[in-house]
Chain A
């Protein structure tokens, strides 16, 4: 049995992917912020697919202490049930914040969750990914096009804007995937990002605050149901060869921003390593 880890797996795209992969016979390790929602999601999957092997873990991934804790739990679970091998890590958890808000570290929350959490979790799960010659799949967004990284003030402490911060974090997702590929190509690990399109989820309503909740309430109705993008994730997990492209939409490779360069990826790695207190091997 192959195992996958999915963050943000209690609702929206993450839950749809968890259900789809559980149905296809993967062992699914879900991570969610609320203990109640974790329990509900696990019960829902077990009810639909009684054979499924699913385990949910509770962690607020924007707080690095909790990323460390849940990574230990995931590694222990994989060691016990999967010989320590992970087939795919799906860094999906994300948020939108209408206001400048910070984590325990004093980091801006969108940058901390949408980018740094996946950056750190991937690092902590590297041994399992190496063992499983696994894939890293990140939930990106086409809104990264036109965005740039504000290097001197990456957390936008000056001139914070919810969409600026969101788009920048989604550009970081692509830079992270590109940087991972250049660093880990020799180890059989492959990373890519998925553009889910406009999806009917609650991302803009969960503690987003400001006008974001209102605007998203109007906009999400035009989105497709979450199982539409979930098919792309399932295809990327299921194909024998690791995904060759960097960015996918609707099952196919898609063009991404020209700002995704090796130099920027390296710069983001350097910055993120410092902010997480880790060092990926070059």
Chain B
């Protein structure tokens, strides 16, 4: 099937969003990018146009704001745009002890990672075209597979996306909607992320996935109607162990690991 898919990417200006946008542009897809700041979107869209000759429309929008998202879809409706794929990338990566963080910052994780994702997904699915497949991707995390002390809220928010994704996939199976949950390990998305990976030593090294490969395979697997994509053989093994071991034991082991990593870096 060679068709120029029309793809919306949320959180397009972040490390993973940029690489996914580049991957879609390389394939010749038509892009609609959203993120919180318009100048960042302009820069990315210009870069994609210069590098790939890609067509990328943009709309800056705070996805945690209901009215702003209504504005986004009003723009889409006014232009008569229809999409084939939604990549839900927007999210906050966040760590630190529950009591060491401000209350609002913790609520922001739920607000963006969960609520905003549902808001955009619902608006998009109600506008999907009939008779053609619609591809939906949720960016969950390897962290979704375990209870994670020191990343408790973040990991639980990603767990929500994983379970939601699998359930929604089943619910919409008969309607041509194909749902993929991406569960990457570490990704070198920002300078901080790279320092975090370095601080974990060998563990960081072996659980980190190559961004460009994750982006390529994510699109491949969405098109192939896969349910869950855990990049990296070691991560898949860890995921399997995590499912077999008792949750309390996993939490205790992870707590030790994160404390050790934090000792190095913070």
A is bound by B: yes
Task: Spell out A's residues near B (CB within 8 Å).
Answer: 64-65, 97-107, 155, 157-158, 160, 207, 209-211, 213, 274-277
The complex places the Cα of A155 from the Cα of B47 at a distance, in Å, of 13
| Given A209-B197, A275-B51; 9 other pairs, CB 8 A cutoff | A99-B188, A99-B194, A99-B208, A100-B212, A105-B51, A106-B25, A106-B47, A275-B50, A277-B46
Q: Is B15 an interface residue (CB 8 A)?
A: yes
Q: Are B211 and A101 in contact (CB under 8 A)?
A: yes
Give the number of residues in B that approach A within 8 Å (Cβ atoms): 31
What residue in chain A is nearest B195 (Cβ atoms)?
A: A207
User: Nearest chain A CB to B189's CB is how many angstroms away?
Assistant: 8
Q: Are B47 and A101 in contact (CB under 8 A)?
A: no
Q: Are B40 and A104 in contact (CB under 8 A)?
A: yes
Q: Are A100 and B19 in contact (CB under 8 A)?
A: yes
Residues of B within 8 A of A100 (CB): 19, 188, 210-212
The complex places the Cα of A276 from the Cα of B51 at a distance, in Å, of 10
Interface residues of B in 191-233 (CB under 8 A from A): 191, 194-195, 197-198, 205, 208, 210-212, 216
User: Nearest chain A CB to B49's CB is how many angstroms away?
Assistant: 9
The complex places the Cα of A185 from the Cα of B26 at a distance, in Å, of 37
Q: Is B21 an interface residue (CB 8 A)?
A: yes
The complex places the Cα of A277 from the Cα of B40 at a distance, in Å, of 17
For B148-166 the 0/1 string (1 means CB < 8 A from A) is: 0000000000000000000
Residues of A within 8 A of B182 (CB): none
What residue in chain B is nearest A273 (Cβ atoms)?
A: B50
Interface residues of B in 20-59 (CB under 8 A from A): 21-23, 25-26, 39-40, 43-44, 46-48, 50-51
| Given contacts A99-B188, A207-B195, A209-B188, A106 and B210 within 8 Å (CB-CB) | no
Interface SS, B side: helix
6 of the cross-chain contacts (CB-CB < 8 Å) are A101-B189, A102-B22, A105-B44, A107-B47, A209-B194, A275-B47
Residues of A within 8 A of B40 (CB): 104
Q: Is B169 an interface residue (CB 8 A)?
A: no
Enumerate the 10 nearest inter-chain pairs by beta-carbon distance, A residue then B residue, closest first.
Answer: A105-B47, A99-B188, A209-B194, A100-B212, A106-B47, A106-B18, A104-B43, A106-B22, A102-B18, A207-B191
Q: Is B13 an interface residue (CB 8 A)?
A: yes
Q: Are B44 and A104 in contact (CB under 8 A)?
A: yes
User: Nearest chain B CB to A278's CB is how many angstroms away?
Assistant: 11
Most buried by A among B46, B48, B194: B194
Residues of B within 8 A of A65 (CB): 39, 43
Q: Are A277 and B26 in contact (CB under 8 A)?
A: no
Residues of B within 8 A of A275 (CB): 47, 50-51
The complex places the Cα of A211 from the Cα of B202 at a distance, in Å, of 10
| Given contacts A99-B208, A99-B210, A207-B191, A105 and B46 within 8 Å (CB-CB) | yes
The complex places the Cα of A277 from the Cα of B189 at a distance, in Å, of 25
The complex places the Cα of A101 from the Cα of B23 at a distance, in Å, of 13
| Given contacts A99-B211, A157-B26, A211-B205, A106 and B198 within 8 Å (CB-CB) | no
Most buried by B among A102, A157, A158: A102
Q: Are A209 and B212 in contact (CB under 8 A)?
A: no
